[in-house]
């Protein structure tokens, strides 16, 4: 399966899929990359190295700082697929890229495609050289 996507932040990554209801990274995801929001259905789930699929993040705009910290400490998801143009996640990615050079890919797909991607066991994105706003693709990833 290949799905067309719009680049929100360039990067390259692959990992097992984790479908998530909207989460606030600030207050909702701990420093170890685990969902710590006790009211969230995925409470206790680690997002480290995961292909995160969710409509959008929610809650505090300080989620950008939390995501930046996760990226620079190597505890971030490997890629993020959203169906809304999430500027909180992207500003965290932009800040992390400035201070550490680590680039977490974030792409936007249609709501229908988001529902299709959720059933893929693993996903891959390679848009390291694609500018923000341009088109790329999300592929089902088959580990070697």
Partner 1 sequence: MAMRVVTGVARVTGATELIDVKCVHIDSCLFHRRSGIDFVGKLVDAGARVRVPTTNVGSVNLRRPERPARSPDMEHVNPLLGYLVGQIAGTGVPVLTGLGGVDGVRGAGADDAGPVGSSRAGAAAVPTEDDLKALGAAAASSGGVALFHIEGVTPECGRLSDVCDPATIPTTVLTTADLVRAQNELTTATPHACLDAICLGTPHASLAQLRRIARRLRDHDRTPRIPIWVNTGRYTADALAADHPADHAALVSAGVRVVTDTCTYLLPRLHFDWRVIMTDSAKWAHYGPGTMGVQVVFASLEQCVQAALEGGP
Minimum distance of partner 1 from residue 144's CB (angstroms)? 32
Q: Residue 83: helix, strand or coil by DSSP?
A: coil
* Contact mark string toward partner 1, 100..139, x via CB under 8 A: x------------------------------xxx------
Selected binder of partner 1 within 66, 80, 127, 130 (CB under 8 A):
66
Candidate ranges 15-23, 40-48, 82-90, 118-126; the one touching partner 1 (CB under 8 A): 82-90
Does 60 participate in catalysis according to the annotation? yes
The residues near 44 (Cβ < 8 Å, ≥ 6 apart) are: 34, 35
Record the tokens describing residue 140, joined without a space: 């089902």
DSSP annotation of 96 reads H
Residue found under tokens 């409509």: 55
Residue 31, phi then psi, degrees to nearest 5? -65, -15
Nearer Cβ to partner 1, position 1 or 31?
31
Nearer Cβ to partner 1, position 64 or 78?
64
Q: Is 74 in the site for partner 1 (CB under 8 A)?
A: no
Angle at 13 between CA 137 and CA 130, to 5 degrees: 50
Count helices and strands in the chain by DSSP H and E runs: 4, 7
Q: Is 99 in the site for partner 1 (CB under 8 A)?
A: yes
Q: Residue 36: helix, strand or coil by DSSP?
A: coil
Minimum distance of partner 1 from residue 62's CB (angstroms)? 4
Give how many residues touch partner 1 by CB under 8 A.
29
Q: Which residues are catalytic?
A: 60
């Amino acid at each position: 399966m290949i799905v067309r996507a719009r680049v929100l932040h360039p990067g390259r990554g692959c990992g097992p899929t984790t479908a998530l209801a909207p989460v606030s990274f600030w207050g909702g995801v701990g420093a170890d990359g685990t969902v710590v929001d006790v009211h969230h259905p995925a409470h206790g789930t680690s997002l480290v190295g995961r292909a995160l699929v969710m409509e959008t993040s929610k809650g505090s705009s300080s989620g950008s700082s939390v995501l930046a910290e996760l990226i620079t400490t190597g505890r971030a998801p490997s890629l993020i697929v959203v169906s809304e143009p999430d500027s909180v996640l992207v500003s965290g990615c932009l800040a992390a890229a400035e201070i550490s050079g680590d680039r977490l890919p974030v792409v936007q797909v249609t709501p229908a495609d988001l529902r299709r991607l959720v059933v893929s066991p693993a996903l891959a994105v390679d848009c390291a050289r694609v500018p923000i706003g341009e088109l790329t693709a999300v592929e089902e990833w088959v580990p070697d």
